[in-house]
A = this chain, B = another copy of it.
């Protein structure tokens, strides 16, 4: 980290040089940063898989929530999660930053540290981007490109009546972590709080599991959970022309989540089923694949849990433990 220079003394091209120097670049005959465009070659027989996400200060994050390094990790994680949901292997990404005037250079360095960590962890190369000033908040735009054999890709449209609905990991941690951050609850010193806050600030994209499911041909449809399980499963149902039944009691919850909601007046099911930003995978699969999926998840080191089944009802219905129907209080974050 270098705090000798301010961003204004470094300038736009100085910043670009600094960004370029800390990311390994695509090797010849490919071409990354330093021309009008990047030149990239998907592997033979592979389909290109592309996604993009914009993160805006005051909307997706507050700088006060945690170190900028984690924000850098998350900016790439949410994009990696989209590729994971297709079962694609990440290859390249483009990073654009709109930076407020007077933004400290060491915070930009910390942000880039986080992006670089995540990029290294997933073997994805920075191939280009753009930087500019911003009149107010920090805006981060990432476009990610990956690849997969076309016949292996997992779309949202493949779910069939009778399939089981699965989720990876545990749900609700991130939404609970965000609630605690918004309430300014002390984070340090409480292991449970630190855990759920970290799940919000530093989510783990399920790239390995997503690719393994795609390669094994075990799932019929897949999506990542960014708007909450019920909303995102709703997208699978829409695209597949089906419905789903969820048993909330079966939703996987972390011990930390369980202890925190037991001690506070929080809406357990709202957080776990509709809270959002889990970045876990939700997928559907024929019931006869259950053992194979459990085996594959064990190998990947990520729990996978059946939480319901696909129906022909045309809508997603979630049942509370007492058998009554759960009504989420909102369909997720409202942007406008």
Contacts and interface: CB of A to CB of B under 8 A. Distances in A.
Interface of A: 7-8, 10-12, 15, 29, 31, 34-42, 47-54, 56-60, 82-83, 85-86, 88, 92, 94, 96-99, 101, 103, 127-137, 139, 141, 143, 145-146, 150, 153, 155-157, 222-224, 239, 334-336
B34 A82 contact: no
A34 B156 contact: yes
A129 B239 contact: no
B38 A50 contact: yes
Contacts of A88: 37
A132 B8 CA distance: 28
Nearest to A143: B143
B50 A132 contact: no
A54 B141 contact: yes
The 4 closest A-B pairs by CB, nearest first: A58-B135, A136-B136, A37-B51, A36-B85
Given A39-B48, A47-B41, A8 B58 contact: no
Given A12-B336, A15-B336, 5 more contacts: A34-B239, A37-B83, A39-B48, A56-B134, A58-B134
Contacts of A139: 54, 56, 98, 134, 139, 141
Contacts of A51: 36-38, 128
A83 B128 CA distance: 13
Contact of A59 (B54, B134, B157, B222): B134
A59 B135 contact: yes
A198 to B, nearest CB: 23
A49 B39 CA distance: 5
Contacts of A82: 36-37
A280 to B, nearest CB: 13
